[in-house]
Amino acid sequence: MELANDSIIQLRFAYELMGREAGGRECLGYTKLDQKNYLRSRRKRYLEFGNTGSLLRYFQKQSLEILSFFYAVQLDEEKQITNIFWADAKMIINYGLFGDVMIFDTNYKVNKAHSPFAVFIGFNHHRETVIFGASLMYDETTDSFSWLFETFLEVMLGKSPKIIFTDQDATMAKALSFVMPGTCQLLCTWHII
């Protein structure tokens, strides 16, 4: 039902399609009015909370249930959320053990707004990938990166990595040199090639 609605299939056609798939409308377990009411309440919830509101509600719930769950948000002058960072206990422990060398990548832009999804990545003693933290960013400015790196260090009790692999983004390099001056910044192999 939700997939049909998200695909912009009209309500009556979606209901007919579901009826065919179920072996007849009588096998659906809901009426066309039930479908309409459900989609209306779903739309209302989405408008009320939106993606960011839902994410923040989830983070608040996690931080109440799991004391070692950490998240932070950065607000702009208009009190609008610009950047969000989070890390759970496993990420923090892994960073404490394996955080001497890490990769910072913002090349994941798969959401509708094409906002950068940034991850702090490393490897454990079995050469398995471990994540140290993650962030949804509004933009890739020096201010955003500085806030993100400062927040990351705050969560990781001030421990900077010895080496960090990044892409060749000048704003990221500037923020890293300011926030983590003792960290050696290297380019990842993909960008060198």
pLDDT tens-place string over residues 56-66? 888 888 888 88
Cα distances (Å, whole numbers) of residue 163 to 45, 63, 99, 103 = 44, 30, 9, 8
User: Residue 135 pLDDT more than 70?
Assistant: yes
Query: In the block, which residue shows the tokens 């969560």?
Result: 155
Asked whether 130 and 124 are in contact (CB, 8 A), the reply is: yes
Q: Containing H/E element for 174?
A: helix 170-179
User: Residue 97 pLDDT more than 90?
Assistant: yes
Give me the pLDDT at residue 15, please.
Answer: 87
Distance CA 79, CA 157 (A): 27
The mean per-residue pLDDT over the stretch 161-173 comes to 89
Distance CA 99, CA 81 (A): 28
- Structural domains in the chain, CATH included, are 2-50 (no CATH), 66-192 (3.30.420)
Of 163 and 15, more confident? 163
User: Residue 29 pLDDT more than 90?
Assistant: no
User: Residue 108 pLDDT more than 70?
Assistant: no
If pLDDT is split at 50, 70 and 90, which confidence band does 168 have? confident
If pLDDT is split at 50, 70 and 90, which confidence band does 4 have? confident
Distance CA 21, CA 16 (A): 9
